[in-house]
Structure formats: structure tokens, C-alpha cells
Structure 1
Amino acid sequence: MVHKRTTVLVKTGMLAAIATVLMFIEFPLPLFPAFLKMDLSEVPALLGSFALGPVVGVLIELIKNVLHIAIKGTTTAGVGELANFLVGSALVATAGVMYRKHKTKHVAIISMMLGTLFMTVLGCLFNYFVLLPLYQTMMGIPMDAIVKMGSEVNSLIVNVKTLVVFGIAPFNILKGLAVSLITLLVYKRLSPILHN
């Protein structure tokens, strides 16, 4: 029992370290506001969620965000990392809970698609009601300036609602699909390492 806990702890730490490194490799995407940057740090968290359970996946999300702040600091007063943690956790926890019940490739695909959907919906709600107002307060940036960052790349963005619908929602869908595809491609190959 102690050996199993130690093994899970070591694997969690390794996956969190890889996720932290991947979080540093972020890049903007055209058609999205500059404050939305793509990274693939949810892949190790999703792998952990599938192999070790959804709690481990969420723990990896927490560790990588804490380490990101500790190593790099934060340019968003922690709001960006909070957003990454909440949205990433929505994906990995949803997918992990579903996959834990029936561990088949078909269920894995469905669980990641539902995880992406849940991540997108939750991301929209969190951004509209909590994260964007918090970002505005913490950074001292008027909401109009935040919306303008979106309207500069997408003319459909004219207010906070359209920023969420035409900026944040499609970004989360794209990120969820990218993370899911990569996880699908590597999970079977890494499964023996993650499970032994």
C-alpha cells in the first residue's frame, strides 16, 4: 500500500513537471485575443487523469500552475493561472471520471469530447462572471480595453458577451480538441509506463 502511494506520488510529480515545462511553451493564435495563449500542458494532466484517476489529473493542474508562478512569476496577478487551473481541471476531471468507469478507446474519445464541452461551458461562465472582472480589478485595466484586444482580431467581438462567445469559447474548444488528439495518440504508448 505504501509502495503504491509512493509510485502514484512519483508519477504525479513527473507528469506535473512535464506539464510545467509545456506551460512555458505558449504561443498566441491568430483570430484570438492576445491574452489567450495556446499551450499543451493539459496533456500530462489528462494522461494522469486517465492512468491514475481524476483527482491526480486535477492535482497535476494545481502543481503546474503553482510552479509556473514560482518559477516565472505572473503577468496577470495570478488570474491567468487561476483560469488555466479551473478550465484545465474541468477537462481532466470530466474525462477522467468517465474513463475510470469504462476504460476503452471509444469511452476515452467520448470522455475527452465531453470534457472539452464542459471545459468550454465552464470557461465561458467563469470568464464572464469571475475571471474577466477579476482581471480588470487586479490589473487595473478597463473592461473596454480587454474587449478591444478581442475586437482587434475579430470584428464580431464588441462587448464582454461577444468576447466570451466568439473569443474564449472557440479558443477552449480548439485547445480541448488539440489536447485530446495528442492524448489519444500518445496514451496507449505511454500506458505501460503510467500503469506499472
Structure 2
Amino acid sequence: MAEQAKLRRDAVRNRQRILDAGRGFVQDGHPLQLNEVSRAAKLGVATVYRHFPSPEALLEALARPGIEQLLAEGRNALATPDHWAALRGFLRAGLRAQLADPTLQPVFSSPEPVTEETTELCAELDETLATLLGRAKADGLIAPDMQPGDVLPLMCGIAHAVRLRTEGNSDDVHGTIDRYLDTLLTGLRAHL
């Protein structure tokens, strides 16, 4: 029994070393290559592959805390009675999350998640956005032809534009997010 507990502790410790090394690569803007991650983590390649069978699986594990935080923001938005404020707040939280965590945008823009857990989390995020958008549409606040699938690429575009605009000037990130998001939301509004 003691041997099994030691092995489990080692596995948990190794997983954390892999995650720490992987996060370092992503934060530095380098691609995730499992061989390089194994060197940085000072672990064998087989150990890394045992925990994460692909770079995409590692990226999704790195993104998971940010996705879970965004889901918590979504649950708060769903409880907000002002449907316009709820939609705006959720989209704003999504932009802030993407700009703070470089793992999120590649996971959100990939055609399909590779892990079941990420698939479930992203499905819940999609459902949250669809509900928030649907409520705003039902209130006549959003153009009736606007779909959740239209909003997601626009959000990625705003995140990219904010990065370009604020590169080297992180003091203006939140103000730029608000300006660009308000411009987008003005375009999404139903024209009465």
C-alpha cells in the first residue's frame, strides 16, 4: 500500500511538473512540443506522453482552470436579470480571460477538443452563450438573425485586435476591451 501511495504522489508531482513546464512554453509564446516539455520538466518523454498523449491534450489541461473560471462567470451572468448587462458582462469576461491566459484562444478556436472533459466544458460555455444571446434577442435587444456561432469568431477577432492595439502598453488593455466590445455590441443591437 505504501508503495502505491508513493507512486500516486510521484505521478501527481510529475503531472504538475509537466503542467508548469508547458505553461512556461505557452507564456513565452513557444509551441508546445512534448519532447521539449519533457526536457524542461526534467522527465522522460514516456512519462510526459503517459500524462498527455498529445500537445493538444496538454494545452487543454493548461486551459481548463481558465475555462472553469469563465463558466463561473457565465453562471453569474445567467442569474443576472438585466439580459443586456448579462450578455455584455459574459462577453467582457471572455475577452479578459483570453487576454490573460494564452491557452484559451487556441483551445476555443480549435475545430474540436481532444479530451472529453474539455468537450463538456466547451459545450457548457456554448450553451451559456446561446442562452444569454437568446434572452437578449427575446427582449428585442439583439438582431434576430445573430447566432452564437457568429459571436465566437468576433470575440476572437476583438481579442486579437486588443493585443495588437495594446502591445507594449498593458495599462490600456481593459479600456480597449470595453471600447471594442461596445463597438461590437452596437453592431449586434437590433435596429428598431
TM over 0.5: no
Relative contact order, CA 8 A, sep 6+: which one is greater?
A: 1
State the structure with more CA Rg. 2
TM-score of the pair, normalised by structure 2: 0.42
TM-score of the pair, normalised by structure 1: 0.42
